[in-house]
Amino acid sequence: AYQLAVAQRKIEALQAEVDASRARKRKKVRISPNSKFADIEAIRRAQIEAGELENSTDESSESENPSDSESCIVVAS
């Protein structure tokens, strides 16, 4: 009985590993015809549409977008 329980746990662990390593859905990133490369926002949008990421814009928008006072660079001369 003990060996059966150990074997079932190992099977569950291996199944979880297989599920995690499977290929994820991919979604083409739409870019503007006037730009050469995709920007971060377009990449995030495509990842959310593909179901790879959760929509957490309210949490990360404050930390990624600095305020006007933080966006200036002071260079000592």
* Cβ atoms 13, 5 nearer than 8 A: no
Structure confidence by residue, pLDDT tens digits, 15-69: 999 888 876 777 777 777 777 778 888 888 888 887 766 666 544 444 455 555 5
Contacting residues for 61 by C-beta, under 8 A, at least 6 apart = none
Return the domain boundaries, the chain. Answer: 25-54
pTM of the model: 0.35
Using pLDDT thresholds of 50, 70 and 90, give the confidence band for residue 13. Answer: very high
H helices within the chain, ranges in order? 2-21, 40-50, 57-64
Residue among 45, 53, 8, 11 nearest 28 (CA): 45
Residue 31 makes CB contacts below 8 A (sequence gap 6+) with 37, 38, 39, 42
